[in-house]
Structures are given as C-alpha cells and as structure tokens.
Homo-oligomer: A and B are copies of this chain.
Amino acid sequence: MHGTANDCKVAFPRARPAIADAARDMTDPVTTKVLAAVTLRQVADHAGVHPATVSRALNPETRQMVSADTLQRVLASARELNYRTNTIARSLRTQRSHTVGVVIPDITNPLFPKMVRGIDDALEKVQYASLVAYTDGRDERLMDRFEVLRQRGVDGLIVATARHTDRALDSLEASGVPVVQINRRSQNRAIPSVTADDRTGLQQAIEHLAALGHRHIAHVGAPQNHSTGRTRLAGFRAGMRHAGLDVPAAHIHLGRAVTMEEGERVCAALLSECPEITAIVAGNDLMALGCYDALRAAGLRCPDDVSVIGFNDMTFADRFDPPLTTIRFDHYGMGSAAVDVLMRRLRSANPVPATVRLELETRLVVRASTAPPR
C-alpha cells in the first residue's frame, strides 16, 4: 500500500492517565482490560432472585409476571451493575437475531446511502440491526451473500437487487426468511416491494418536456431485466402517447447497465442516428450524466441544444453542470417503509401475508438541464 507507517513502540504514552481515569469510571474496578460483561446470573445473585426471574423482569413482554416488589429490586440491581442482555445468547435461545440482512448492489452508488440510512434508522427504533452485503451487480453473489447472512441468523432480508425474473429471490423467499424488495421488484407478486412510482415519474418528465415545446424526445433507458428499466420505459411510452407524440423505434436506446458509461455510449449512438432529437429522458441520474458527456463530445450544449432529465435526484444532482432536472422520490422514506413492511411480516404469525406493493410518490424537480427547444 502507498502509505507511510509510523510504528512507534511507546509502551505507556502520555495518554495513559486518561485511560486509567476512564477505567475508574467503569463498573468493575479490578481489571483494566477485557472487562467481562455482566451476566444475568450476576444480576440475579445481586438481587437475590433466580436468573429466570431477572429474565422475566427485564423483558417488557413478561414483566407483568413478576411482583412489583421483585421488579424494583431486579431493576435496581441491573442498573447498578450496568447489565446489558447478551444479544448473542438471547438469539441462540429464541432463534431470533433481531438482525436483518440488506443486500444492495454497492453502497458507493449514490442512490443507496440514503436508502440504507432510512433502513438503519427505522431498524434502530425497533432494536434491530442490519448486516449489509453487496452484489456489485454480480447476480450470483446474491445467493452467496445470502448464505453468510443466513449463517448469521438474519430474521429477514431487504433486497435492492431484484431482477424481473429472479429465481434466486424466489428461492430466498421459499427458504423461509421473509424478504422485502426495495427500489426494484421481481415479477413474483408474493414478495412485497417498496418502489418508486417509476411510471408516473417518467410521465411527469415527458409532460414537462412537452410543455416546454419538445416534440422529438428520446429515452436513454435502463436494462429491461430490471423493473425500473421496464416501468420507466412503459412510463415513457405512456407519457408520449398522452402528449400526442410519436416514438420512433430509433428514439429508444437501452443501456446494458445503469451507469454513466452506458449512458454515454448509448447516447452517443442515439445522437448520431437521430440528430432531430431535442430532449432526452435518461434511465436515471447516472445515465443522464453520461448523456452530458456524449453531448459535449458531439459538440452539443445542454440545455441549449438538447435537454436532459434524470431519475432519482441523487446527491449533488443540483451541483452538476448544468444542474440536473430530475425525478425525485424519498429514498430515506423508501428505506424506512421497507423496514415497516418487513417488521409486519416478522411479527405476523401468518406465514403468507397479503402481497404488498408500495409505490412512493415521485416529483419532478426542474433545474437547468431542461429548456425550450431551439
């Protein structure tokens, strides 16, 4: 690695007093390091009751089984000893880890941090934790990562990598761990999903462009093995129909991936085939950025020569050159909604809950990448 290492062997650097101070604050004053955690048993001994009683007293669900008197004693002891229940032991016993697996393509894709944050904040509220895994677009990693998540006892799964036909996802669901799909969804309606209302979003984009006076509008779209790619294309067609505009086959160019590179490649092809184009609706913001590049390479300016619209309103979309007009939805809310749905599945005894397909509202955010045609 290209780093410079300073390995200074300072056995007891100046900071030591601070450490000692801190240690003095801890419950166990005897040992300075690797403080063994306090156990239920210790609380029981301290309170003079049986461990089972402590367990009951500390668990809100069983608390009413214990007398007010004992409850007080136990609570006092637990507080005094700074007791925390050992999640691992509890998980082994109850077969519930209070953990959910989150499978996304890549946290480095600016679409996902807000979604993950929405998920994690919602999970925190119900005392769950997430274990996140990445597929990096390599579909075979889903089952692989799932195996390790399962080994770790995840109670459920939030999956953002659904393909239109997704046998892996089907078999996840069949394996008995509740799944909810987020952002994208497979055609398997038995698996709940939370997505954006992609179709309406695209229609909003077309409406905007049509209102500006555009007539030759193209779609630099996402792959059709994703629901987002499909639904956005369908929304594109529907929007054009409503606006009374034609869609020559040549005006629809689909990328093989939802990336800047594919956006650029596909847009370049589009521009050379169809010089009449005055506006482009991209499959998402990343592809829109690729369109910027292709336009520049072709000596065209955005929005003067060609308007561009993205999808997602990802971080910094307002900072691009030009600031990107795009379709926004609530990424954070999508994350927390997915948790809500999953929790409902986890809590219900019913093993086959009603199908839910939640679609989040989209909104057009107009910025400087769209303007009337020349």
Chain A interface residues toward B at CB < 8 A:
1-16, 18-23, 25-26, 32-35, 37, 84-89, 91-92, 97, 106-108, 110, 112-114, 116-117, 120, 127, 129-132, 134, 147-148, 150-153, 167, 170-171, 173-176, 187-190, 194, 197, 289, 315-316, 319-323, 330, 333, 337, 351-352, 354-361
Contact = CB atoms under 8 A, between A and B. Distances in A.
A127 B356 CA distance: 35
B187 A15 contact: yes
The A interface is mostly helix, strand or loop, or mixed, namely mixed
A116 B112 CA distance: 13
B190 A15 contact: yes
Contacts of A33: 174, 176, 351
Contacts of A150: 37, 84
Across chains A and B, which 3 residue pairs bring their CB atoms closest together, nearest first? A22-B171, A34-B176, A321-B321
A189 B132 contact: no
A129 B153 CA distance: 13
A34 to B, nearest CB: 4
B176 A152 contact: no
Given A18-B188, A107-B113, A321-B322, 13 more contacts: A4-B358, A9-B355, A12-B190, A14-B189, A18-B167, A34-B176, A34-B351, A86-B153, A87-B152, A88-B91, A117-B134, A130-B131, A315-B316
B174 A330 contact: no
B330 A320 contact: no
Nearest to A177: B34
A361 B113 contact: no
Contacts of A351: 33-34
A170 B110 contact: no
A6 B359 CA distance: 8
A88 B134 CA distance: 22
A148 B21 CA distance: 23
B110 A117 contact: no
A187 B97 CA distance: 37
Contacts of A197: 4
B88 A97 contact: yes
Most buried by B among A10, A22, A132, A167: A22
A224 B106 CA distance: 33
Given A3-B333, A9-B355, A134-B117, A19 B107 contact: no
18 contacts: A1-B360, A9-B354, A13-B189, A13-B190, A13-B355, A22-B167, A33-B176, A86-B92, A87-B153, A106-B117, A107-B116, A108-B114, A110-B110, A110-B113, A129-B148, A319-B319, A319-B320, A321-B322
Contacts of A333: 1-3
A19 B174 contact: yes
A235 B321 CA distance: 31
A35 B171 contact: no
A355 B18 CA distance: 16
A106 B116 CA distance: 11
A35 B319 contact: no
A254 B316 CA distance: 24
Contact of A3 (B21, B153, B167, B358): B358
A280 to B, nearest CB: 18
Contact of A189 (B10, B116, B147): B10
A93 to B, nearest CB: 9
A289 to B, nearest CB: 7
Contact of A22 (B1, B32, B174): B174
A303 B15 CA distance: 44
